[in-house]
Amino acid sequence: MPIVSVVSSLCAVTPERAVGNDELARMVDTSDEWISARTGIKSRYVASPLETTSVLGAQAAKLAIEEAGLKPEDIDLIVCATSTPDKTFPSTATLIQAKLGCKVATAFDVQAVCSGFVYGIGIVDALVKSGQAKNAILIGADTFSRIMDWSDRATCVLFGDGAGAAVIQGVDANEAKGKGILASVLNADGKYADILNVDGGASSNARVGKLRMEGQAVFKHAVTNISSAIEECCEKAGRPVSDIDWFVPHQANKRILDGVAKRLGIPEEKVVVTVDVHGNTSAASVPLAYDFAKKDGRIKKGDLVLFEAMGGGLTWGAALVQL
């Protein structure tokens, strides 16, 4: 009997401290008016020194494991999507494994920047379907506040911190009754590495570095890349875009979300928008948005949910999940 990968739970957490646009306007030459109009962002969360990526990731993972009715010792695969690891090594996934008290398991990080969680869905799906894991936890966690150049108004107003996690379980296809990860599309084009990157690294200059972005250049690729990944993903799954109950996109810029929805004919009321409260939280962005719409009662079991993301690399992708 073929195995399908069922998303049993998905939860998210933010750091405690929220930072509004007005607070940033006291630090750099910007305004609430500019940030709101150009991005839709009103506020974002900024992690304290104790709220590291693994701390936030473990908090989200704990919630997801509980919501799935599992115990940490049931988990046999831990994948953490992050570009802001606590340490160069070991992986944040292993740090989370230790914090949760999981048994010996497979654990590793995925580095696909803002597309990390969507990449993780595709990777975990493949490992679960091939029988290499039965009860997986996928975490998307980032603390981009640590790699911000807080004097660069073009970037420091855009990003925030957070974490989300999903339990993905292998279930016999006849038992799953249509639920599961239906398809995913994962893409990258390294020739655009320079337009969004961090100017540090262990082997280049032995520094952590700061995020650098040519915003307009990234923007130019966003709507086209995301739209084509969604179309390919829906085609792979054999489901038209019109079947989607909820569109849960990466939250980089409200203008990008509107552009993609318009191009694909997705009605505004099906688009989950949290960029106003979270900013761009990189790999945490998609699970944070999902959790938000789950908590306010929009997303429910049985819904067809479309995830998408684009980020540094450039990387981009989409995933279609029947809950």
Selected from 18, 215, 259, 263, the binder of ligand UT7 by CB under 6 A is 215
Asked if 193 interacts with ligand UT7 (CB under 6 A), we say: no
CB 7 within 8 A of CB 322: no
The residue sitting closest to ligand UT7, measured at its beta carbon, is 215
For ligand UT7, the closer of residues 27 and 98 by Cβ is: 27
Please tell me which residue in 197, 225, 253, 280 is annotated as part of the active site.
280
* 114 classed as catalytic: yes
Tokens 């939250």 found at:
251
For ligand UT7, the closer of residues 105 and 114 by Cβ is: 114
Asked if 258 interacts with ligand UT7 (CB under 6 A), we say: no
3-state secondary structure of 34: helix
Of residues 35-74, those binding ligand UT7 (CB under 6 A): 35, 38-39
Q: How far is the CB of 319 from ligand UT7 (least distance, A)?
A: 17
Selected from 91, 280, 315, 322, the binder of ligand UT7 by CB under 6 A is 280
Of the candidates 32, 123, 127, 55, the residue with the CA atom closest to the CA atom of residue 284: 55
CA distance 3 to 91: 28
Reported as half-sphere exposure (CB side, CA atoms, 13 A), residue 128 has a value of 30
Query: Which parts of the chain fold into alpha helices (H)?
Result: 21-25, 32-39, 53-67, 92-100, 116-129, 153-156, 173-176, 215-237, 254-264, 275-278, 285-295
CB 9 within 8 A of CB 61: no
Selected from 123, 252, 283, 319, the binder of ligand UT7 by CB under 6 A is 252
Helices 215-237, 254-264: inter-axial angle, 10-degree rounding:
40
* 80 classed as catalytic: no
Asked if 216 interacts with ligand UT7 (CB under 6 A), we say: yes
Of the candidates 195, 181, 162, 183, the residue with the CA atom closest to the CA atom of residue 283: 162
CB 179 within 8 A of CB 320: no
Q: How far is the CB of 123 from ligand UT7 (least distance, A)?
A: 20
Please tell me which residue in 156, 234, 250, 278 is annotated as part of the active site.
250
Selected from 18, 34, 146, 236, the binder of ligand UT7 by CB under 6 A is 34
* 135 classed as catalytic: no
What does 285-319 look like in DSSP terms, one character per residue?
A: HHHHHHHHHHHTT-S-TT-EEEEEEEETTTEEEEE
State the number of binding residues for ligand UT7 (CB under 6 A). Answer: 20
Asked if 143 interacts with ligand UT7 (CB under 6 A), we say: no
For ligand UT7, what does the binding mask look like between residues 146 and 185, x meaning CB under 6 A?
-------xx--x----------------------------
Catalytic residue set: 114, 250, 280
Interacting residues toward ligand UT7 by CB under 6 A: 30, 34-35, 38-39, 114, 153-154, 157, 215-216, 218-219, 222, 252-253, 256, 280, 310-311
